[in-house]
């Protein structure tokens, strides 16, 4: 069997309209984090 990377679920959330953190920035950082640990980004969930 081929050596596959574990999959990571990515969840980004913006709790208020006044939040300075953009969801797209969170997604970019979370994908980078997953890749740094050798995980393959799987499902992505966003709550705004």
Whole-model pTM: value is 0.75
Domain count across the chain? 1
Task: Give yes or no for residue 45 having a pLDDT over 70.
Answer: yes
Q: Do the domain assignments include residue 34?
A: yes
Query: Domain limits at 26?
Result: 7-47
Q: Do the domain assignments include residue 38?
A: yes
Task: Give yes or no for residue 46 having a pLDDT over 90.
Answer: yes
| SS3 category, 41 | strand
| pLDDT tens-digit series, residues 17-37 | 665 668 899 999 999 999 999
Q: Do the domain assignments include residue 41?
A: yes
43: left (phi over 0), alpha (psi -120 to 50) or beta: beta
* 2-6, 16-20, 29-33, 41-45: range with lowest mean pLDDT: 16-20
Q: Do the domain assignments include residue 2?
A: no
| SS3 category, 33 | helix
Q: Do the domain assignments include residue 1?
A: no
């Amino acid at each position: 069997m081929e050596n596959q990377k574990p999959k990571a679920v990515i969840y980004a959330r913006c709790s208020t309209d006044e939040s300075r953190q953009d969801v797209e920035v969170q997604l970019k950082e979370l994908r980078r984090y997953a890749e740094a640990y050798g995980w393959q980004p799987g499902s992505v969930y966003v709550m705004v």
